[in-house]
Amino acid sequence: DQCRQTGYQGRAAIYEICLVTEGLRKLIMHRCDGGGLKQCAIAEGMETLRHDGWRRVAQGRSTIEEVVRVTQTDEVMAETTEEAEPIVAAEATEIQ
């Protein structure tokens, strides 16, 4: 009854926080696309929305279906970056 027959009670946010590392800074300066930036950020330790969602599923605070539903954009980004050549931040050179 507390869920008003929706199966959900309350709200819980999932987060994706990207700290700008030196590698990301170089890619930004070279006008790298969003997919490449995200690929580099993940390689350097950033956790995606979906990863945070899976943590909530493991804690019993969300469902698999809900995480998949709200992180579909994550999946699309992953598919497009998988097709691209890997980008390594070390490949970027400093702009003089």
**Do 4 and 71 form a contact (C-beta atoms < 8 A)?**
no
User: Is position 52 within any domain?
Assistant: yes
Q: Is residue 7 left, alpha or beta, with left meaning phi > 0 and alpha meaning psi from -120 to 50?
A: left
- Nearest-angstrom CA–CA distance, 69 and 15: 15
pLDDT digits (tens, 9 = 90+) for 64-96: 999 999 888 765 555 555 555 554 444 444 444
pLDDT at 73: 72
CA distances from 82 to 47, 58, 59, 77, 79 (A): 17, 26, 29, 9, 5
Domain count across the chain: 1
Q: Which two tokens stand for residue 73?
A: 């954009």
Q: Is residue 1 part of a domain?
A: no
pTM for the full model? 0.62
The more confident residue out of 23 and 72 is 23
Is 85 domain-assigned? yes
For residue 42, what are the domain limits?
22-91
pLDDT band at 12 (very low <50, low <70, confident <90, very high): confident
Q: Tell me whether residue 4 is in a domain.
A: no
